């Protein structure tokens, strides 16, 4: 049994939906289909989810959002027209959106969650109607009806454990299940969304609940690549990697998966197969619990920017009991999260997402507070850093991987601001100036994957 998930680009038009239909019906094992909201049809297009967010926000401000609402409905109408569906499904979508916009808005976050989620919900209804139009038994299933219950945290929902037992009962349903991604229901009956790209999370949850043999995730690329193809031209495809490797790569900037999306499938030991809707015969990338390490120490290189560092120096820091607690407690007081904390005997560096400081305008206040609380010799902020993650479970069994990476960066004249390696030894992180991010990634890729790499022009 397979659970199949299709992303927004795979569902952006009637032509794309015809491909989806052919893929699903080509394999009788594909029992449950999780769908996103319609994505972009071209580079200058707008995703339906973005239209819905703008629509909801305008309705909260002005009490009307006619043009934006019609733009959303037009997207569905265009797809329905391409597929030869009647007006009934568009009337259903219009009625649903009208009801949501006119609903209680006393809790704006909950109100917006319900409107955002309608992108997936109404697309699932349309897709089920199309499958039936083609003579295939298919049923739209609402997450509440299926028992997908989540924590009451708008935009950050977490699945509740009892949901898995409820979802297992869907195995008894006949025909193909069409299930909307991105949201579940609180125990109070309110719609609550996962974080953005949450349809991947729904697919993983459903695969776990149904005890699927495989979770297939269809997107618009043939496979996961060893490095961002906008940085290195035609990089190597990854045929197989582990969950831990995928999570490290996703965290550090790989856009194929949300970094939390695979956890439910991982816990159930269900392999994930990434496939291309536009080229379903391509082998794709398989994500598993364990794999043979036959392709060298490194499986992929990812990078992300928008970080800053707070460098703290104090003589004999290592002998001061409670020093680390004071640092983290101060961050907590300001509602800040951190990414990494490399340290020495007399200094430590806190790596944070830079936008946290910018949003709160607390940079100087935070630095002054840390200096006073810690009685530090020096507290310095450095902005505009990029983190580069070199990932591979085989690194723990290979001597000299760090030396190779450092040598490659040195040869490319990239200055390393910091190095950090987790205790799991699945990855090592290099901090560099954001202006040198691409040169650093290209140098590392050439070192570990190819001596004849063609970099994308900077």
Structure tokens at 80: 């329905």
Q: Are 100 and 75 in contact (CB under 8 A)?
A: no
- Residue 165 assigned to a binding site: no
Q: 183 vs 3, 199, 343, 415, CA distance in Å?
A: 17, 8, 40, 43
Name the phi and psi angles at 157, rounded to 5: -60, 145
d(C-alpha 417, C-alpha 403), whole Å:
16
Could you tell me the sign of the dihedral formed by the alpha carbons of 372, 376, 380, 386, in that order? negative
User: 6 among the known binding-site residues?
Assistant: yes
Q: Rounded to an integer, what distance in angstroms lies between the CA atom of residue 274 and that of residue 284?
A: 5
Beta bridge partner(s), residue 30: 2
In terms of Cα–Cα distance, which of 115, 85, 118 is closest to 103? 115
Q: How far apart are CA 222 and CA 395, in angstroms?
A: 26
Please give the angle made by the CA atoms of 201, 47 and 202, to the nearest 5 degrees.
Answer: 10
Annotated ligand binding at 84? The verdict is: no
H/E segment holding residue 228: none
Local structure of residue 159 (DSSP, 8 states): B
Tell me whether residue 5 is annotated as binding: yes
Whole-angstrom distance, CA of residue 379 vs CA of residue 374: 10
296 annotated as a binding-site residue: no
How far is it, in rounded angstroms, from Cα 385 to Cα 405? 18
CB 387 within 8 A of CB 304: yes
- Whether 49 has a binding-site annotation, put simply, is yes
**Residue partners of 385: CB distance under 8 A and separation at least 6:** 305, 307, 308, 309, 351, 354, 417, 431, 432, 433, 434
230 marked among binding-site residues:
no
Structure tokens at 408: 């490659």
Spell out the alpha helix ranges (H) of 26-107: 48-62, 66-83, 88-101
How many residues make up the chain in this entry?
A: 458
Please name which of 159, 258, 138, 151 lies closest in space to residue 206, comparing C-alpha atoms.
159
Residues making up the annotated binding site for substrate are 49, 120
Residues making up the annotated binding site for ATP are 5-8, 219-220, 225
Residues making up the annotated binding site are 5-8, 49, 120, 219-220, 225
């Amino acid at each position: 049994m397979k659970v199949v998930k299709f992303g927004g680009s795979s569902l952006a038009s009637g032509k794309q939906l015809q491909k989806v239909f052919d893929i699903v019906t080509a394999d009788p094992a594909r029992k449950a289909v999780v769908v996103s909201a319609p994505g972009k049809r071209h580079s200058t297009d707008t995703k339906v989810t973005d239209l819905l967010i703008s629509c909801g926000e305008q309705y909260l401000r002005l009490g009307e959002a006619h043009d934006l609402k019609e733009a959303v409905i037009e997207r569905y109408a265009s797809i329905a027209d391409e597929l030869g569906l009647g007006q009934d499904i568009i009337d259903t979508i219009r009625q649903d959106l009208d009801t949501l916009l006119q609903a209680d808005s006393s809790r704006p976050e909950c109100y917006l969650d319900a409107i955002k989620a309608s992108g997936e919900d109404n697309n699932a209804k349309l897709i089920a109607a199309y499958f039936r139009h083609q003579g295939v038994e298919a049923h739209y299933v609402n997450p509440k009806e299926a028992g997908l219950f989540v924590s009451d945290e708008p935009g950050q929902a977490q699945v509740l454990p009892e949901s898995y037992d409820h979802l297992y009962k869907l195995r008894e349903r006949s025909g193909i299940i069409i299930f909307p991604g991105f949201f579940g229901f609180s125990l109070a009956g309110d719609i609550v969304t996962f974080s953005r790209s949450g349809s991947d999370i729904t697919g993983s949850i459903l695969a776990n609940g149904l005890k699927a043999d495989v979770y297939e995730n269809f997107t618009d690329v043939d496979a996961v690549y060893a490095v961002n193809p906008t940085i290195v031209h035609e990089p190597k495809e990854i045929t197989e990697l582990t969950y831990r490797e995928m999570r490290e790569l996703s965290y550090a900037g790989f856009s194929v998966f949300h970094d939390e999306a695979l956890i439910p499938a991982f816990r159930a030991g269900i392999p994930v197969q990434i496939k291309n809707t536009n080229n379903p015969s391509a082998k794709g990338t398989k994500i598993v619990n364990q794999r043979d390490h036959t392709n060298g120490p490194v499986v992929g290189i990812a990078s992300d920017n928008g970080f800053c560092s707070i460098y703290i120096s104090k003589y004999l820091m290592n002998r001061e009991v409670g020093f680390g607690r004071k640092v983290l407690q101060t961050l907590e007081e300001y509602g800040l999260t951190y990414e990494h904390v490399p340290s020495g005997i007399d200094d430590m560096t806190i790596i944070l997402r830079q936008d946290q400081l910018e949003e709160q305008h607390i940079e100087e206040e935070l630095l002054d507070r840390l200096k006073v609380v810690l009685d530090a010799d020096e507290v310095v902020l450095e902005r505009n850093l990029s983190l580069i993650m070199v990932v591979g479970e085989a690194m723990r069994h290979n001597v000299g991987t760090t030396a190779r990476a450092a040598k490659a960066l040195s040869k490319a004249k990239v200055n390393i601001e910091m190095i950090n390696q987790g205790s799991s030894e699945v990855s090592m992180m290099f901090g560099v100036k954001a202006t040198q991010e691409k040169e650093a990634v290209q140098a590392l890729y050439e070192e570990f994957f190819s001596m004849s790499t063609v970099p994308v022009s900077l």
